[in-house]
Amino acid sequence: MSAPLAPLDASTPALVTGGGGFLGRAVVERLRERGVPVASFARGDYPELTALGVETLRGDLGDAAAVRRACVGRSVVFHVAARAGVWGPRREFWRVNVEGTRHVLEGCRAAGVGRLVYTSTPSVVFDGRDLCGVDESVPYASHYESAYPESKAIAERLVLDANGPDLATVSLRPHLIWGPGDPHFVPRITARARAGRLPIVGDGRNEVDMIYVDDAAEAHLRAAERLSPGSPVAGSAYFLSAGKPVRLWEMVNHLLAAADLPPLTRAVPARLALAAGFVLEALYRALPLRGEPLMTRFLARELATSHWFDISAARRDLDWKPKIRVDEGLRRLRASLQAPR
């Protein structure tokens, strides 16, 4: 049975951090479709959000005062913004993901915000080994090979520990968000494929979860509507996915086909990719080199292992289920990639 409903409407103004990003914008759009007044807090300027009637606030999560001001007058905050990636200065991941989340929590408390929906990642439980059908009882990883999942795990704990009678919190863990407008996953694989730098890592049979962006956004709204002190949702974390894993490298080839690119055929053993990641990380740190390594240990393990999750809890507590099938998502993606620019 799902938690009691506290509808989002014109009387409950919302704040979305990272409202100009891929998932953040999808959350903003769905809130506006429901007539909910929305403010977006982000570093960049997004005229398209203004056109939707969104109040756009420019600021950095590292600026506690700016975050606190953005929280004033909101009854719900969707904290979507984050520093993502497999490589980069550890201090920057901490500044944005950990300290930025502290600032959001402080802002919510100071402004009397009643609900906080936090966007996490399943990587907080990924320890480099296969994860097949696990639910939310699986513990956090005991070690991390990337600052991104480590910083997100710390931030998620901060959010869940903050849950209480004055501020109800929930953490959502969508896995591999994709769809039209994706600035991360699809562009990266298509760029690497065009450059001949995208081999299959491992035996190509590993299965992973993915989730279409519209389904992920809807889950955020469902979580907010069912979030109140003492509800099953409050203080909980939920995996989100399409509900059925796909073979990663088959899906990659489908995505490449949507961009009119040939399928991948070249493969490298997982151990070789892991070794290459270790060497490249050492080189990039020692020299140091700009940009990011072609391979890292974290990326090698992500590409070669299975990681998919039981979403029964999200279906039950959030009264949510994924709706966009892979074939429909691919049709939409292909149309967007081929649309005139």
User: Which residues carry out catalysis?
Assistant: 148
Sorted by sequence, the CB contacts under 8 Å of residue 30 that are 6+ apart come out as: 214, 217, 218, 221
Identify residue 328 by its one-letter amino acid code: E
Helix axes 326-338, 248-258, angle to 10 degrees: 30
How would you write the chain as a 3-class SS string?
A: CCCCCCCCCCCCCEEEECCCCHHHHHHHHHHHHCCCCEEEEECCCCHHHHHCCCEEEECCCCCHHHHHHHHCCCCEEEECCCCCCCCCCHHHHHHHHHHHHHHHHHHHHHHCCCEEEEECCHHHHCCCCCEEEECCCCCCCCCCCCHHHHHHHHHHHHHHHCCCCCCEEEEEEECCEECCCCCCHHHHHHHHHHCCCCCEECCCCCEECCEEHHHHHHHHHHHHHCCCCCCCCCCEEEEECCCCCEEHHHHHHHHHHHCCCCCCCCEECHHHHHHHHHHHHHHHHHCCCCCCCCCCHHHHHHHHCCEEECCHHHHHHHCCCCCCCHHHHHHHHHHHHHCCC
Strand partners, 14: 38, 76
